[in-house]
Amino acid sequence: MDTLRTEEIAALALKRVNDDRYVLASLIFERVKELGNGAKPLVDMDIKIHKLPDIAMREIAEGKVELTSIEDRE
């Protein structure tokens, strides 16, 4: 997945949430909050080099973060 362009990663992430852009945006937002509060990335990306939304999008595209995993914490 390292060789994929941003558009391709976004397309994969969108497929993971049944092409619902609102759900994807909400999921990215929640994951960025978690990463900002000290959660470790679930993908091999350095928080000091990459932007948090890019890390969150990659996690979603790879299936490491799903909507149910965040809903369960509330």
Question: Averaged over 51-68, what is the pLDDT?
Answer: 92
Report the pLDDT value the prediction gives residue 2, as an integer from 0 to 100: 58
Q: Is 65 helix (H, G, I), strand (E, B) or coil?
A: coil
Per-residue pLDDT reduced to its tens digit, 16-41: 999 999 999 999 999 999 999 999 99
For residues 11 and 5, give the distance between their C-alpha atoms in angstroms, rounded to a whole number. Answer: 10
Report the pLDDT value the prediction gives residue 21, as an integer from 0 to 100: 95
Residue type present at position 57: M
Longest CA span, the chain: 35
Report the pLDDT value the prediction gives residue 42, as an integer from 0 to 100: 96
Q: Tokens for 50? A: 């990459």
Per-residue pLDDT reduced to its tens digit, 3-18: 788 899 999 999 999 9
Please report, for the chain, the start and end positions of each structural domain, with discontinuous segments joined by +. 20-62
Report the pLDDT value the prediction gives residue 67, as an integer from 0 to 100: 75
More confident residue, 3 or 70: 3
